[in-house]
Amino acid sequence: MKTNITLGLYLMSAKGLATLSSFDDKNRELVAYIVVGKDNNVTNDYSEEIIKLATQLQIPIFERSQTPPPASHLIAVSWRWLIRASEKQQLIVFHDSILPRYRGFAPLVSALINGDDQIGVTALLASDEYDKGPIIDQQIIKIEYPITISRAIDYLLPCYKSLTKKIIYNIIQKRMTASPQNEDNATYSLWRDDDDYYIDWNTDAKYIQRFVDAVGTPYKGAATIIDDEIYRIEKCEALSDVRIENRQPGKVIFVENGYPIVVCRTGLLKIIAISKESSGTSALPLPKFRVRFIS
């Protein structure tokens, strides 16, 4: 493929791997290099898988601390750091939301916690202010709950592949266009740290179930405290409420076949899988009935 177009790919996560896998024998020679990022805050950052595939495709690999050669176009997927592009380069960012909603950080997590019935991926041109650049294209899919974030990511991976192929084709054909975002519809998603993994038992049980599902694998998992120790809840189920005269969210009210049922502000939550963070071992069955889950 004879062209003056060269691509630099900045890749992380399963989404970055999906993006790289969209290149085949016809267009892989366009890729001048990939830069691989690593994230210790997830169970698998897919850096090894990305490196392995890039090696198979005979694409040069750079670490984030290294300086890659020039490229006419840069594509960033799940990238968490600033990319300094020159005026001659075009930087395209893939974002895990239907922009202009959920600009910022962990947008898919926020969308799932909020119970959105649609999720998607947006390809946009980078701008000085994050996620405000013109939109090149979007892919949107409908979802139903309950849904874990790992399943939601699986649903989105084909979107990354098809968007990449479409954008590369339009770059080659010099047909790529972009449209300004509607600022009236813009919302933002804040960054998350370890404190944001803790369950707020003073919320609705269905909301808590969505929260648990949204911060599970590949993330650390929803946290709670029992007797001054941290536990991670991997699976739960929202149940119908009962009338409680002295309601205190976080207290176990029933145990059903070994599964504790916890009082929430509204509704009840059955804990199906929970482990002690220090050992990673299952905490079920609980050693006693009178257990209080603390935020």
Give the domain CATH number at 224.
Answer: 3.10.25.10
Encoded tokens for 68: 């890659």
Position of tokens 């090894």?
48
Residue-level pLDDT at 2: 53
| pLDDT tens digits, one per residue of 258-272 | 999 999 999 999 999
Domain-embedded: residue 240: yes
| pLDDT tens digits, one per residue of 200-242 | 999 999 999 999 999 999 999 999 999 999 999 999 999 999 9
Q: How many CB atoms lie within 10 A of CB 112?
A: 24
Task: Count the domains in the chain.
Answer: 2
Whether 230 and 269 share a structural domain: yes
Whether 205 and 160 share a structural domain: no
- Cβ-based neighbours of 173, under 8 Å, separated by 6 or more: none
Give the separation between CA 274 and CA 31, rounded to whole angstroms. Answer: 44
Domain-embedded: residue 97: yes
Give the domain CATH number at 16.
Answer: 3.40.50.170
Domain-embedded: residue 287: no
Torsional class of 174: left (φ above 0), alpha (ψ -120 to 50), beta (otherwise): left
| pLDDT tens digits, one per residue of 9-61 | 999 999 999 999 999 877 889 999 999 998 887 888 999 999 999 999 999 99
Beta bridge pairs of residue 61: 34
Domain-embedded: residue 251: yes
Strands (E), 127-242: 135-142, 188-189, 222-226, 229-239
Q: Is the pLDDT of residue 1 over 80?
A: no
Q: Which of 149, 174, 189 is the last residue of a domain?
A: 189
Beta strands at 222-226 and 118-125: parallel, antiparallel or unpaired? unpaired
Whether 160 and 29 share a structural domain: yes
Q: Which of 127, 155, 189 is the last residue of a domain?
A: 189
Show the domain range for 268: 194-276
pTM, entire model: 0.94
Residue-level pLDDT at 3: 67
Q: Is the pLDDT of residue 88 over 90?
A: no
